[in-house]
Structure 1
C-alpha cells in the first residue's frame, strides 16, 4: 500500500472526527461539531458524484450546520488528489473561502527515528506541567504571530489531561523553550500526527527541529505507530522534507463564517 492510499484509508472520515462533540452522516459525508462552534466536513472520497451531485452535498452540509445553534464557522477540507468535479466553485458560490494550500506530508517512523546531533546547550524535554505548557504555547504564539496564544494554553492542558497518549515535546536552552511540537497518535490507525512545530528564528538551522521530529518518531514507534503525518505550509515543507517526510498530496481548507446578526 502506498503512503497516500494508507492516508486515504486510515486518516479520513472517522479518524478526523474522533474528538467531535457530535457527528451526523449524510451519504459519504461526516458532519461533525467541534468545541468553539466549529463545524467540520469529512469524507473518504466523492467518486461517482458529478458537479450537480456535489452541489447537492454542499447544500445539505451547509443547511445542516446553519440550522444548528452555536455554529459560527464550517471547514470543508479538500484534497488535491481527489476526483471531485466542481467542488471548489460550489463551495465558493455558497460563501466558503479557500485558505492557504498546505502539503500533506508522510514519513515512516522507523526511518525518521535516527540520531540527530543537538547543540550542547539544548535539551529535549516532554512538557507535562502547567508551566511547561505555558512556556511552549508562548513560544509558538510568538513564532506564528498569534496574539491569542494564551487561549490555547487551557485547551492544550485539557487535551493532555483527557488523552495521555498526546505528547508535547520541547527543546530547551538556558531554561527557555526554543522549539516545540506535538505528537498525536490516531487511535485505530498506524499513524501519529506531527503538529504545532515551531522554532525561534535565532535557533533555526541547527538541527533542533529534526531532533524533535526524530524523538517524536521514537515515541510513535513505542506506541505501535508506523507512519507520521503532517499538514504543513510551503514555508515548513522543506523543513519536514529534511527530517524525512515526503509530500503525497495537498489540502485546502474552505471556511464558511456565519455573518453577525
Structure 2
C-alpha cells in the first residue's frame, strides 16, 4: 500500500463519520447516507461509502433525501458531497435530474502537520493572529465572502459565531495589513482522530503570491501540533493545492459538491 493509499484509508475511516459534521443540529439516516441539518437552513448529505449500491438504488436515495429536506421549510439549501474515489454508479445523473448543480471540483489533500510547520517571511506590515471577538469574526467572514465571489452575508457570519459558541476547538486565524484583514482561514481539530482540518483559506487577490497564505497555513499547523494532531486535511482549490503539495501534502482524491436551493 502506498502512502497516498494509507492516507486515503485514514480519511475514509476517521473523517467520514459524525466527525465530519461537528456542528450539526440534527442527523437522520437513509441507508448509508447521513442527512445532516445545520443552523441557518443548510442541509448536507454525506456518507462513508454507498455499500455497493446500484444506479437504481442510488437514484432512489437522491429522490428520498431531497424529499426529506423539502419537507422542512427551514432548509433553503442542500449540499451533496461526493468523492472521486467512491463507486457511485448513476449518482451524477441522479443529482442533475433532481435539480442539484455541481460546483467546482477540489482536491482532497492530506499530509503530516509537521511538514507545514515552517518559518515564512511575511511582507512588510503583515501580521498574523487568532481572532475570537465578534467584530473581528464578522470582518473575517465578510472578507471571505468577497474573495469567494458571493454577496457579503450576515448569515454566514452568524453561523461562524454560533460555531464559536460551541467551544469545540475550532480556531480562526487572520493576516492583517494596517488593521484590515487580507487573508483568513480556520483550523478544525477532529476529536478522537489524528486529524485537524484547515478550511476557508481566502486571500485578497492583490496580496496573493507573497507568502501570506503559506504563513497562515504554517500558523494553523503549529496550533494543530500543539493540540496533538499529526495529520492535516483540506479540500483545496487550484490556488492552494500547489502550495500544500510543495510542503508534503498528498492529493489522495477529489471532492465535488452538488448544490440544491429551494
TM-score in same-fold range (> 0.5) = yes
Q: Which consecutive residues of structure 1, in runs of 5 or more, have no partner in the other structure?
A: none
2:66 to 25, 38, 62: 62
CA contact (8 A) 1:103 1:237 kept: yes
Match of 1:84 in 2: 88
Question: Which is worse superposed, 208-217 or 95-104?
Answer: 95-104
1:74-153 equivalence runs, <5 A: 74-153=78-157
Match of 1:209 in 2: 213
Give the C-alpha shift of residue 120 in structure 1: 4.1
1:24 to 28, 50, 58: 28
CA contact (8 A) 2:142 2:152 kept: no
Give the C-alpha shift of residue 22 in structure 1: 1.0
Give the C-alpha shift of residue 78 in structure 1: 0.8
Question: Which is worse superposed, 164-173 or 151-160?
Answer: 151-160
Question: Which is worse superposed, 218-227 or 60-69?
Answer: 60-69
Question: How far, CA to CA, are the matches of 2:214 and 2:173 in structure 1?
Answer: 12
Give the C-alpha shift of residue 10 in structure 1: 1.2
Aligned residues: 258
The 1:109–1:134 alpha-carbon spacing in structure 2 relative to 1, beyond 3 Å, is same
Question: How far, CA to CA, are the matches of 1:74 and 1:150 in structure 2?
Answer: 19
1:173 to 174, 177, 183: 177
Match of 2:239 in 1: 235
CA contact (8 A) 1:47 1:84 kept: no
The list of structure 1 runs, each at least 4 consecutive aligned residues, that deviate by more than 4 angstroms after superposition, is: none
Question: Which is worse superposed, 87-96 or 134-143?
Answer: 134-143
**RMSD over aligned Cα atoms:** 2.0
The 1:34–1:229 alpha-carbon spacing in structure 2 relative to 1, beyond 3 Å, is same
Q: Which consecutive residues of structure 2, in runs of 5 or more, have no partner in the other structure?
A: none
TM-score, normalising length: structure 1: 0.90
